[in-house]
């Protein structure tokens, strides 16, 4: 009987240990100079030289590939506590136009898409599309950093 209880207890502990989440060692926000960008509605947003200057970023000889944007896409978090959630900001995929020289200058820009603060959902019963208002915020935040290699949308639409 003792062996049976011990075996069941060992199996339970094994399942518990396997279900423990593994967290990233460091957040993407742990180093560097970050700039917070607020977005209210779904749409395509443009990051250009005047916008970077407004943030205080020196855009002289700035590599278009060094602009990195992070965020988790907006919408209200689910109230379901039984699902996995990201433990850090995800990298957004964006597209840029640098005139082919790899340097952000003149009229060059970077575009990114945001789902906005509210989410469209499909009712599984009526098949109607409904808007799910975010009850806790009227803005979605993205974080921009200069350095490294940002993700870009390739010719086939994939993120690279």
pLDDT in tens, 39-80: 999 899 999 999 999 999 888 888 877 888 888 877 777 777
Identify which of 69, 68, 86 has the alpha carbon closest to the alpha carbon of residue 77. Answer: 86
Question: What ranges in 40-121 are assigned the alpha helix state H?
Answer: 49-55
Mean pLDDT of the chain: 77
Q: Can you tell me the distance from the alpha carbon of 119 to that of 92, in angstroms, rounded to the nearest whole number? A: 18
């Amino acid at each position: 009987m003792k062996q049976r209880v011990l075996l069941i207890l060992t199996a339970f502990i094994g399942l518990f240990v396997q279900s423990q989440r593994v967290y990233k060692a460091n957040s993407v926000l742990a180093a560097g100079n970050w700039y917070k960008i607020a977005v209210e509605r779904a749409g395509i947003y443009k990051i250009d030289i005047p916008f970077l200057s407004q943030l205080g970023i020196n855009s002289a000889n700035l590599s278009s590939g060094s602009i990195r944007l992070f965020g988790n896409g907006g919408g209200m978090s689910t109230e379901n506590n039984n699902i996995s959630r990201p433990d850090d900001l995800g990298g957004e995929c964006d597209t840029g136009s640098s005139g082919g020289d790899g340097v952000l200058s003149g009229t060059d820009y970077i575009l990114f898409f945001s789902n906005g603060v509210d989410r469209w959902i499909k009712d599984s019963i009526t098949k109607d599309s409904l808007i799910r208002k975010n009850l806790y915020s009227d803005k979605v935040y993205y974080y921009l950093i200069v350095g490294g290699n940002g993700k870009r949308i390739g010719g086939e639409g994939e993120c690279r």
